[in-house]
Structures are given as structure tokens and as C-alpha cells.
Structure 1
Amino acid sequence: MIDKSVITLKKRWNGTSAGYVTAPSTAAGRKGILIANSTVNGDVSDRSFFLGRNWHAGGDATLDPQTTVRNTSLSAAIKTTPWSDMGGFSWKDDRFAEYKNTGAGAGAASADRPLLTDAQAAAQEVADWLGDWTPTAS
């Protein structure tokens, strides 16, 4: 879980821009990656990064990758179709969604860009990942 953070995208070693913000390999019935109340930016080319791809480690079909990006400012670096298939598995068969993101990289709901409803988002908040644990700054 990433909350109230800045994720800075970087160019590749050869100066090109391309990549993935996340590549979850989540066990079925478990919570995956949550990015909340954050910013995704960087000095990279527009529309060159996916928010994520589904990683079925070792071709394991029992995995159920998950990434939710919510209430986050997305720069123009994010592709208009922000999710990608990996290893012969379709991201649409896994759990990828957004909720109330802003910025040039945010977009409207579509078949390639699932947005959570308010009711769905209510079960994907920071507290749902942390449970009764309350982190403190030291």
C-alpha cells in the first residue's frame, strides 16, 4: 500500500520512456497494491507508462493480481489505456481499477479503464489495507 506519496517515473538507461508503475502477483483472496492520495509524475514522455500489468508468476493461473489507484494525481506519462496483459493472461480477468484520479493521465471510464463506483471504492480505502494498525512517524 502506498499512501500520500510521490512516485517519480524515470527514463530507461538508453533515454527512452516506457514502463509500468505496478506489476502485482497477488494470491487469490488477498489484497494487492493500493496507491492512494498520491502523485505519479516524472520527466518522461507523455503516454509512455502503464499503471500496471498482471503478473502471474510462473504462469500460475490461481493468482489474482490487483492494483487500485485512487484519489491520485496522474501525469500525462500514463497511457490512455493504463493496464496491460502479461504472460498470456488478460488484465481484464484480474483486479485493476481506478477511483477519482485527477491530472492529465486520468481518464473517463471505459472497457479499457475501469473506474470503481462509490460503493466499490468504500471497500478499497487505506484502512481496508491497514486494518487496526496505525503507523506513526518517528
Structure 2
Amino acid sequence: MNHSRFIVKAAGMSAALLITAGSAMADVEFIGVDPEAALSESNTVATVTGSVVCSTGESFTASAAVLQNVAGSFIAGSSQSTNQDAPSFRCTGESQAFSVNAEVVLPPGGSFQVGNASVILNVSAIGAQGTNSRSASSALRLK
């Protein structure tokens, strides 16, 4: 009988620890993507900009995939956040701008064209209790 009470108490304490750890986990609260992205002179890089809100004291990274269909040809670019190069970057809890450069990866040697595209953005907040990610997709105008 005492063994059963110990198991019930241990299970209850474990659940309380999980609830506490879950509430302290990093959080991406908002992602906004600007509707236009600037192309490099060679049209091989699209600079995606926007804003993010994440929990105060955490850091964040962003990655993007830019997809475009031009005359039946599929063009894809991928990136990593320029903020990833600054490990001391901290979230303020307020809206913060980000910039992500998506470089063409498919087809090899390909280039984006001025016009409509789509973006899939992933933002990860990194905190003491772990990492939490949020994704957003949006129409994009390459210019």
C-alpha cells in the first residue's frame, strides 16, 4: 500500500515539473513577413524581411524557403538568418525586424525573376528551457 502511494506522489511531482518546464519554454509569439523582397543584382538572392516577437531574454534564428514558378520552371532558394551570426542577439518582447537572404539552390545555377513567389518562414526562439519554433507562409513579390 505504501508503495502505491509513493508511485502516485512521484507521478504527481513529475507532472508538476513537466507543467512548470513547459510554461518556461521559449516562445515565438508573432511572425510578420513583408510583402516584397529585394533581389540581388544577379537575381540569385532574395532578401526577405519582416518582424518577430519572442519572449524577453531569449534569442532567435530564422530560416526561409522562397519558391517561384516561372514559365513552368520551379525555382527554390533557402537561407539562414543574419541574426544567427550574432549569438548574443536577444529578444526584447517587442516587435523586432529581421532579414533573411534566400539564395537559389534549385536549379543549380538558376536565378529568381521579378514577380510573384511564395515564402515559408521558420523562426525558432531559443531559451534556457529549450527551443520553440513557429512557421508562416505568405505570398511574396520579388523586385
Please say whether Structure 1 and Structure 2 have the same fold, judged by a TM-score greater than 0.5: no
Q: What TM-score, normalized by structure 2, do the two folds share?
A: 0.27
Higher helix share: 2
Q: Which has the larger radius of gyration?
A: 2
Q: What TM-score, normalized by structure 1, do the two folds share?
A: 0.27
Higher strand share: 2
* Greater RCO structure (CA 8 Å; 6+ sep): 2
